Structure 1
């Protein structure tokens, strides 16, 4: 393979910085842990309000731009057609954003909340039970998907509207930070931090997926879920990724996303039909009502008086983790959005993503809650004794035709994680490619080297054992500067729109046409544009 199109000046510092962070966590575990956890505690405790404000602000801004006159702007030339069908487009967005972590947390989160409920509720009380699914829906709902979508709009505009073929984040921010800074040390620091955030956030997701699939394999075959099985699974992910990439975006990624969603939804419907159907519907809609009724309250709840630590450990952690995915979600969503409007990109991401998550949380979460509350299955006992992964596997295995359903479940989880890995590798490859081709695709060789790099980072994280918590904490710390980068991207986006679409900006009051001269009309026009800039 040839790597002439790989941006070596960015690739090697980024991958080296990531492995340096991993090495520090391995060889200096206590010191690294203390520093990383102190930084995370400072961010969530002292700046948690800023994380909450940034997340809510992302949702408000995106809904505003989508529903305003700017929402009709096409991301591409006027005659550009969407590359993918709408269903494939929506499915790729959904599978890129959730991976295998969704079902893991759809079962795990309500169980954690059952033991330590939010909003001052007493554990085991009826009041506490109303928050179990409510908060899970909230954390996988509109604000999280808005954070994913926020960088995608400027990236898509930059790629398809301005026809740029180098997607380094520093180049995208050039209009704000200046060309000198974009091409200098500041620009390299921005790019390396952005890539590190993606690798750190993804390695966390990969850790959840591999542990979950490994637990399932142990249940089915008896093979121990040890480090060698986990490393073998990562190698299998890389090999499968290579096959998907050789098939291309349309035949590979799009088809894989379609199959994943169809299979996952079929599994969810099966559980809905064989489980406590009436309870699942009733509990979900009750929880949805609580979330909608208290959406503003829980969006800004920081518990500054009693200091239970719940919003810091969950909501603020989630938002920082989502912000760390700036490069992955921003570039991947931009890549598949050619020919779509800003409105289509925003509303599809936020509403389809939230609805898809709600579907699985409603079924898997409500089924688990019902099983625990009414003594059908000892879900909490499984989780406390063997971890969330084994609890999920035991819940699936307890279904009718459990052994067969468990195998289907493991296959679906593997495919879901494969699509997320594809998104991560494609996105970072696009950012570290010197010049993208006409279809905005990086070279296969660049994609493959990043697939191996991502796999190596994930393997190293597994060999670290307990030190993976240090990387998770560092990832959350990286989420803070990502907020600032998102704000700069939004500033660039609005500047580009002013330059390219002056007709969409506010018009000054023009004198009646009969009395207006060409010169006066032009003067008013210039004044209107100048006032907007």
Structure 2
């Protein structure tokens, strides 16, 4: 349940700064389109080339760290008092919706086709071997490493907010708690500004791609012209749903949307599994998971030293940076919904629950697509290269019983998926721009509604100005590079805190909820500081009203 938030205020300096940078960037992209594309291509190439090896090592380190932490004695630490606020299925569903964009439905049918045409591990393209590794590579990019990066970013924030009772639900607050740099200082403002820019860029890409896919399929179904106004209607409709969900709050809004989407996607996948090539889907899904596991280390550390490194640079490194750009926002959202859970529960739900969910969806959707390609029914890679992915998806769905109906259902699920994802991102942005946010509190409804509008305007401006999406993609990835350092700083702080707070306690005492005397004293001190801040704000408001 949302806590009282009458004392939570909008951080005007951070809000104005972020909006000024975002809208100035969109305007510059529209005016200098060609120059922006050329600059973005060079920036993306050099950033992914120079930092290729460090990014791969970061993804691999994330996997090792979260597994080690989950099964250590520190995995028993409870994040906040009381029972969990949400049932386990709803909780995991919200994780999945926060961490995945609606464009996941697009990639779910088509991701394998890219790897078939441009495979990794020095495999020849467009060969049976490339086809064998296409689905496993997709599962690799969307499972353990990706969710481990999310988890690595989330646990320090959860621990700082729920266990140490540090005030403020923002990255700058965590950096202040670890390093001492003030959240309102230059370092703190820079961290939060980079976070907001990443959230705008990442969400814009998902929303624009979804809108384009939606309008293309809608046009093929109804004959409605695929124009800017059609895109506007789609984006505005989704935003209204997103705004309503955000306004009614986490319990009634996001929780219900996440349940609707996940149950809808599961039902949709089951329908394809039953009425599609069931035997092939089952066998190739199992085989693909096995191939992914057997090649996991090779895929994780494939730097391609004997080649040009193009696959690693354009796929694995890009994906890890893409996940990293979303990670800070996911961390804030995970912190909000995980009160009462243990560190082990959070890690298992994110890494194992998220991975299994992706294997299920990718296994069914992608293998349904692969089957039609193997049997010369639909040449998905060729259509993808020549006509666009949305055309391939429409042809694939049309192969199902009641194909037209299933295409409509696909569009409905995509819209609700996008609204739920926007809700999660909107919460993270609102929390970052809210001052005095304490445990049990949410950003005010007015702040959430304000960001609902702002997060919608940028994609509309991108579509209207026809600004190059690849440029925003490059900007988002480049902004993600500093977040690797920020996440590592947070992880250092977490390790230091765990040793200070729980190193002397045996595993069974931690499991029983015992804490050290030093931690208890720190919690009381921080809670006292938060109450003083809130009391000061209340008195200031009363004095203002009296005047």
TM-score by length of 1: 0.91
Question: Given the alignment of the two structures, is residue 61 of structure 1 paired with residue 65 of structure 2, yes or no?
Answer: yes
Measured on the aligned residues, the alpha-carbon RMSD in Å equals 1.9
Distance (Å, rounded) in 2 between the aligned partners of 1:176 and 1:441: 23
Match of 1:6 among 1, 4, 10: 10
Bigger mean CA deviation after superposition, 321-330 or 374-383: 374-383
Distance (Å, rounded) in 1 between the aligned partners of 2:35 and 2:399: 43
The alpha-carbon deviation at position 308 of structure 1 amounts to: 5.2
The alpha-carbon deviation at position 327 of structure 1 amounts to: 2.7
Alignment map for 1:215-254 (pairs within 5 Å): 215-254=216-255
The alpha-carbon deviation at position 413 of structure 1 amounts to: 1.0
Question: Given the alignment of the two structures, is residue 32 of structure 1 paired with residue 33 of structure 2, yes or no?
Answer: no
What are the Cα deviations for residues 189-243 of structure 1, in whole angstroms up to 9, with x where unaligned?
1110111111111111112221222222112211122222122211112211122
Distance (Å, rounded) in 2 between the aligned partners of 1:404 and 1:326: 36
Number of the residue aligned with 2:109: 107
Contact map agreement 1:75 1:339 (CA 8 A) in 2: yes
Contact map agreement 2:66 2:148 (CA 8 A) in 1: yes
What are the Cα deviations for residues 53-81 of structure 1, in whole angstroms up to 9, with x where unaligned?
1111111111111110110110002xx11
Contact map agreement 1:327 1:428 (CA 8 A) in 2: no
Alignment map for 1:356-395 (pairs within 5 Å): 356-395=357-396
Number of the residue aligned with 1:525: none
The alpha-carbon deviation at position 406 of structure 1 amounts to: 1.1
Number of the residue aligned with 1:155: 157
Distance (Å, rounded) in 2 between the aligned partners of 1:44 and 1:103: 26
Alignment map for 1:50-449 (pairs within 5 Å): 50-77=54-81, 80-180=82-182, 182-307=183-308, 309-436=310-437, 439-449=440-450
The alpha-carbon deviation at position 33 of structure 1 amounts to: 2.6
The alpha-carbon deviation at position 159 of structure 1 amounts to: 2.1
Distance (Å, rounded) in 2 between the aligned partners of 1:68 and 1:350: 16
Contact map agreement 1:90 1:352 (CA 8 A) in 2: yes
Q: Which runs of 5+ in 2 are unaligned?
A: 1-5, 508-516, 518-547
Distance (Å, rounded) in 2 between the aligned partners of 1:22 and 1:466: 7
Bigger mean CA deviation after superposition, 247-256 or 3-12: 3-12
Number of the residue aligned with 2:26: 22
Secondary structure at the counterpart of residue 381 of structure 2: helix
Distance (Å, rounded) in 1 between the aligned partners of 2:343 and 2:283: 35
The alpha-carbon deviation at position 379 of structure 1 amounts to: 2.3
Distance (Å, rounded) in 2 between the aligned partners of 1:462 and 1:57: 38
Judging changes above 3 Å, is the alpha-carbon distance between structure 1 residues 26 and 145 closer, same or farther for their aligned structure 2 residues? same
Distance (Å, rounded) in 1 between the aligned partners of 2:107 and 2:423: 21
Distance (Å, rounded) in 1 between the aligned partners of 2:328 and 2:124: 40
Distance (Å, rounded) in 2 between the aligned partners of 1:201 and 1:505: 42
Bigger mean CA deviation after superposition, 159-168 or 414-423: 159-168
Secondary structure at the counterpart of residue 78 of structure 2: coil
Distance (Å, rounded) in 2 between the aligned partners of 1:125 and 1:166: 53
The alpha-carbon deviation at position 36 of structure 1 amounts to: 2.6
The alpha-carbon deviation at position 397 of structure 1 amounts to: 2.2
Number of the residue aligned with 1:479: 480
Count, aligned residues: 503
The alpha-carbon deviation at position 24 of structure 1 amounts to: 2.2
Judging changes above 3 Å, is the alpha-carbon distance between structure 1 residues 438 and 327 closer, same or farther for their aligned structure 2 residues? same
Distance (Å, rounded) in 2 between the aligned partners of 1:499 and 1:118: 44
Question: Given the alignment of the two structures, is residue 44 of structure 1 paired with residue 48 of structure 2, yes or no?
Answer: yes
Bigger mean CA deviation after superposition, 461-470 or 40-49: 461-470
Secondary structure at the counterpart of residue 220 of structure 1: helix
The alpha-carbon deviation at position 409 of structure 1 amounts to: 1.1
Distance (Å, rounded) in 1 between the aligned partners of 2:305 and 2:25: 32
What are the Cα deviations for residues 486-507 of structure 1, in whole angstroms up to 9, with x where unaligned?
011112222332333243489x
Number of the residue aligned with 1:526: none
Judging changes above 3 Å, is the alpha-carbon distance between structure 1 residues 248 and 228 closer, same or farther for their aligned structure 2 residues? same
Distance (Å, rounded) in 2 between the aligned partners of 1:157 and 1:206: 32
Contact map agreement 1:99 1:419 (CA 8 A) in 2: no
Contact map agreement 1:165 1:440 (CA 8 A) in 2: no
Distance (Å, rounded) in 2 between the aligned partners of 1:410 and 1:149: 30
What are the Cα deviations for residues 223-277 of structure 1, in whole angstroms up to 9, with x where unaligned?
1222221222111122111221233211221121112111111110111111111
The alpha-carbon deviation at position 437 of structure 1 amounts to: 5.8
Contact map agreement 1:195 1:327 (CA 8 A) in 2: no
Distance (Å, rounded) in 1 between the aligned partners of 2:421 and 2:16: 23
Distance (Å, rounded) in 2 between the aligned partners of 1:194 and 1:438: 21
What are the Cα deviations for residues 341-378 of structure 1, in whole angstroms up to 9, with x where unaligned?
00011110011111111111111101111101111223
Bigger mean CA deviation after superposition, 114-123 or 58-67: 114-123
The alpha-carbon deviation at position 3 of structure 1 amounts to: 11
The alpha-carbon deviation at position 316 of structure 1 amounts to: 0.6
Secondary structure at the counterpart of residue 325 of structure 1: helix
Distance (Å, rounded) in 1 between the aligned partners of 2:23 and 2:506: 47
The alpha-carbon deviation at position 428 of structure 1 amounts to: 0.7
Q: Which runs of 5+ in 1 are unaligned?
A: 507-521, 523-533
Secondary structure at the counterpart of residue 304 of structure 1: coil
